[in-house]
């Protein structure tokens, strides 16, 4: 154990009234937000403000590993000013889809300039609510008096208790200004020929849409959390840019040695009524193309986790996950990890999954780099949080938008396998884009 003098930070965590930790009060705090995370159905809310420390990974294959090492080291640099039976501060952040250096030069592209290849942040203030309990954590340098942490905690509690401001900001209707459907359909057509030639088993082609909007990020998050309560709703605030979304796909969750991942691949629309919805569900459940696409993801996840030393549980049954606008085939992959394994070690092992890249992984990534002509940035990358035990949860950043300077760049993708049709893949990605476009329009 290092002495206090050798440590870099002090942390104070205090349990507070859970009624204070609600979306409206958090959006009203007069502090710079860093990270937002809510799983409404799980009654789990996390918000970080400020940055006591951050790690930015350079592009390259070691970016997630370097972040994992830096995160473990910083947790060892914190002395806690309270009992160990309360949750302490968390590290939050994410990673871009690709580990390559950015090369996009599109004049109308939003460049992801504020989002490095990998980012972990230790917020100055972290508010957590799990069910009927809630906590606030403040992190300060050891060079500052411990009283400063107590003062920060008291100040934030007072602000939460004061109620919330009206954060609903007026905005004009969101309008799509760039949406090249023709280019995407040509990309899909070429991908199908590559699959049918045997060069690829599957590849995930993505597209984007540029939207003019003045929507307030907090209001967009509120719309998402209300419409998609089964998802993890997230927001990463970076100076003038905000990355928001609602992900239905758990990349890796690790808790006390138990790892869980969700294979989410195979998609169809929702029906206009219960009968039509059931018919579409049956179509999805028995569609050979959708089932093949799903099994690629399941097998890829199981292989990657097994190679990481995970003792896998028996395969689960395929289920149907119904969201507001689409329904997916879903399977759970779970197991037990060796004692020294952290959540980011597993993220590094499984990302990118066949659900967002393709198979074989290396060949699919090379094909995308040469043909997709889209800077995905953090779209389809890992996003989430990690605690001092190196447990945590990372989702695949889907159903998302990058908000910046009165514009929003929306992203969606579709898995291309043998038999894929450009018109159907266009329709699928349009439905996925609709989740975020609807949130922007409602803001």
**Residues 303 and 408 grouped into a single domain:** yes
- Identify the helix (H) or strand (E) that includes residue 337: none
CB 443 within 8 A of CB 144: no
In degrees rounded to 5, what are phi and psi of residue 294?
A: -65, -45
168 lies in some domain: no
Q: Which of 246, 216, 183, 223 has the alpha carbon at shortest distance from 408?
A: 216
Three-class SS state of 235:
strand
Domain that residue 137 falls in: 4-103+114-161
245 lies in some domain: no
What's the CATH code of the domain at 209? Answer: 3.60.120.10
CA distance 159 to 162: 5
CB 9 within 8 A of CB 52: yes
DSSP state letter for 375: -
User: Is 172 a catalytic site residue?
Assistant: no
Question: Over 50: is that where the pLDDT of 278 sits?
Answer: yes
Q: Which of 95, 60, 100 has the alpha carbon at shortest distance from 372?
A: 100
Estimate to the nearest angstrom the gap between the alpha carbon of 297 and the chain centroid: 18
**Residues 390 and 256 grouped into a single domain:** yes
Would you state the pLDDT for residue 169?
Answer: 35
**Residues 68 and 133 grouped into a single domain:** yes
**Residues 198 and 91 grouped into a single domain:** no
Q: Which of 39, 124, 249, 404 is catalytic?
A: 249
Q: Which of 247, 268, 252, 291 has the alpha carbon at shortest distance from 380?
A: 247
344-390 pLDDT tens trace: 999 999 999 999 999 999 999 999 999 998 999 999 999 999 999 99
Would you place residue 262 in the very low, low, confident or very high pLDDT band (cuts 50, 70, 90)? very high
CA distance 355 to 376: 15
419 lies in some domain: yes
Q: Which of 38, 202, 425, 428 is catalytic?
A: 202
68-115 pLDDT tens trace: 999 999 999 998 887 677 888 999 999 999 998 765 544 445 579 999
Query: Residue 416, Cβ neighbours under 10 Å: how many?
Result: 27
Average pLDDT over residues 47-64: 96
Query: Residue 362, Cβ neighbours under 10 Å: how many?
Result: 10
Average pLDDT over residues 122-148: 91
Would you state the pLDDT for residue 56?
Answer: 97
CB 48 within 8 A of CB 37: no
Q: Among 16-25, 169-178, 273-282, which is the least confidently predicted range?
A: 169-178
Question: Over 70: is that where the pLDDT of 9 sits?
Answer: yes
223 lies in some domain: no
**Residues 405 and 258 grouped into a single domain:** yes
170 lies in some domain: no
User: Is 202 a catalytic site residue?
Assistant: yes
Would you state the pLDDT for residue 167?
Answer: 36
Average pLDDT over residues 427-433: 91
Would you state the pLDDT for residue 25?
Answer: 82
169 lies in some domain: no
Cα-based distances in Å from 415 to 17, 162, 200, 418: 45, 48, 12, 10
Would you state the pLDDT for residue 181?
Answer: 78
Question: Over 50: is that where the pLDDT of 236 sits?
Answer: yes
Q: Which of 136, 130, 135 has the alpha carbon at shortest distance from 149?
A: 136
Beta strands in 115-240 (DSSP E): 118-122, 125-130, 133-141, 175-178, 202-212, 232-238
- What is the total residue count of the chain? 443
Strands 78-80 and 9-16: parallel
156 lies in some domain: yes
CA distance 250 to 127: 22
Q: Which of 220, 142, 211 has the alpha carbon at shortest distance from 177?
A: 211
- For the chain, what is the domain count? 2
CA distance 275 to 265: 23
Question: Over 80: is that where the pLDDT of 227 sits?
Answer: yes
144-197 pLDDT tens trace: 887 788 888 888 888 887 654 333 333 445 555 555 678 899 999 999 999 999
- The first and second tokens of residue 49, run together, are 């403000």
Question: Over 80: is that where the pLDDT of 29 sits?
Answer: no
Would you state the pLDDT for residue 166?
Answer: 36
Strands 78-80 and 53-57: unpaired
**Residues 189 and 94 grouped into a single domain:** no
**Residues 142 and 211 grouped into a single domain:** no
Q: Which of 300, 299, 270 has the alpha carbon at shortest distance from 284?
A: 270
- The first and second tokens of residue 78, run together, are 């914190």
309 lies in some domain: yes
CA distance 98 to 351: 9
**Residues 119 and 194 grouped into a single domain:** no
pLDDT over 90, % of the chain: 72
Would you state the pLDDT for residue 6?
Answer: 64
Strands 125-130 and 400-404: unpaired
Mean pLDDT of the chain: 89
**Residues 272 and 408 grouped into a single domain:** yes
**Residues 123 and 260 grouped into a single domain:** no
DSSP state letter for 43: T
**Residues 295 and 323 grouped into a single domain:** yes
Would you state the pLDDT for residue 105?
Answer: 47
Report the alpha-carbon angle 250-256-259, nearest 5. Answer: 30
CA distance 61 to 230: 32
**Residues 400 and 427 grouped into a single domain:** yes
């Amino acid at each position: 154990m290092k002495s206090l003098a050798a440590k870099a930070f002090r942390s104070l965590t205090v349990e507070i009234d859970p009624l204070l930790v609600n979306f409206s009060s958090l959006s009203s705090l007069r502090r710079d937000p860093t990270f937002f995370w809510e799983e409404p159905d799980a009654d789990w809310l996390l918000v970080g403000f400020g940055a006591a420390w951050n790690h930015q990974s350079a592009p390259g294959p070691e970016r997630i590993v370097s972040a994992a090492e830096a995160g473990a080291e910083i947790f060892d640099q914190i002395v806690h000013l309270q009992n160990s039976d309360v949750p302490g501060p968390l590290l939050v952040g994410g990673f871009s889809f690709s580990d390559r250096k950015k090369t996009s030069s599109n004049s109308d592209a939003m460049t992801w300039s504020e989002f490095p290849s990998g980012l972990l942040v230790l917020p100055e203030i972290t508010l957590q609510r799990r069910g009927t309990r809630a906590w606030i954590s403040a992190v300060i340098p050891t060079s500052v008096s411990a009283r400063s942490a107590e003062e920060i905690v008291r100040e934030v509690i007072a602000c939460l208790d004061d109620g919330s401001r009206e954060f609903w900001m007026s905005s004009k209707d969101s309008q799509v200004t760039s949406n090249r459907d023709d280019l995407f359909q040509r990309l899909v057509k070429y991908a199908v020929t590559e699959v049918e030639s045997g060069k690829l088993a599957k590849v995930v082609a993505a597209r984007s849409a540029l939207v003019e909007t003045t929507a307030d990020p907090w209001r967009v998050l509120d719309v998402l959390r209300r419409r998609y309560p089964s998802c993890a709703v997230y927001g990463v605030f970076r100076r003038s840019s905000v990355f928001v979304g609602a992900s239905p796909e758990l990349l890796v969750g690790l808790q006390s040695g138990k790892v869980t991942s969700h294979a989410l691949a195979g998609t169809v629309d929702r029906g206009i009524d219960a009968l039509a919805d059931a018919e579409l569900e049956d179509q999805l459940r028995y569609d050979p193309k959708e089932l093949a696409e799903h099994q690629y993801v399941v097998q890829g996840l199981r292989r990657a986790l097994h190679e990481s030393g995970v003792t896998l549980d028996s395969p689960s049954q395929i289920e149907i996950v119904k969201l507001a606008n689409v329904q997916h085939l879903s399977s759970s992959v779970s197991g037990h990890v060796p004692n020294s394994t952290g959540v980011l070690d597993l993220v590094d092992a499984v990302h990118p999954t066949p659900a967002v890249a393709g198979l074989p992984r290396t060949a699919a990534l090379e094909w995308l780099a040469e043909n997709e002509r889209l800077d995905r940035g953090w779209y389809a990358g890992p996003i989430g949080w990690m605690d001092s035990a190196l447990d945590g949860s990372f989702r695949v950043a889907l159903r998302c938008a990058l908000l910046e300077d009165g514009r929003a760049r929306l992203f969606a993708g579709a898995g291309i396998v043998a038999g894929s049709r450009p018109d159907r893949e266009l329709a699928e990605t349009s439905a996925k884009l609709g989740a975020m476009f609807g949130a922007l329009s409602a803001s």
